[in-house]
């Protein structure tokens, strides 16, 4: 699976958009970009994933560059509860339950302040 690079930390004001970047320059054609987050002392939580096209769900938007070498997770209106470590993970979608295995980098610590 491709390696990802994220800034170690970011700050965001409550109510503003939080834009979290991720570089994955070695991504291959069949690899997806996934985002998870981990609130302190909890298990990781799925946020969103994409292959080529931009994606949006009730939690966030994912913008993937045309060359797929980088992406940005956007939390449109950050709240204090969005303070967490955000992990960008690139991997192939395999079959069956093998997908539960993820390789986590250091992630980005997002701090949302009042």
Residue 45 beta carbon to other proteins: minimum distance, rounded to whole angstroms? 7
Sign of the CA dihedral with 107 first, then 37, 28, and 91 last: positive
Per-residue x/- track, 42-81, other proteins (CB under 8 A) = xxxxx--x--------------------------------
Helix (H) / strand (E) element for 58: namely none
Laid out side by side, the sheet with 55-56 consists of 18-23, 70-75, 61-64, 55-56
Taking CB under 8 A as the binding criterion, the range among 10-18, 59-67, 73-81, 90-98 that sits at the site for other proteins is 90-98
Handedness of CA 103, 27, 92, 89 (dihedral sign): positive
Minimal distance, residue 60 CB to other proteins, in Å: 15
Question: Which residue of 21, 72, 105, 111 would you call a contact of other proteins, by CB under 8 A?
Answer: 105
């Amino acid at each position: 699976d491709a390696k990802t690079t994220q800034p170690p930390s970011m700050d965001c004001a409550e109510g503003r958009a939080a834009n979290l970047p991720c570089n994955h320059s070695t991504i291959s054609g069949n690899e997806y970009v996934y985002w998870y987050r981990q609130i302190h002392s909890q298990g990781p939580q799925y946020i969103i994933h994409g292959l080529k096209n931009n994606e949006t769900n009730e939690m966030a938007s994912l913008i993937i560059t045309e060359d797929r070498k980088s992406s940005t997770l956007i939390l449109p209106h950050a709240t204090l509860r969005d303070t967490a470590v955000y992990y960008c993970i690139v991997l192939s979608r395999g079959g069956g339950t093998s997908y539960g295995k993820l390789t986590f980098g250091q992630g980005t610590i997002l701090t949302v302040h009042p």
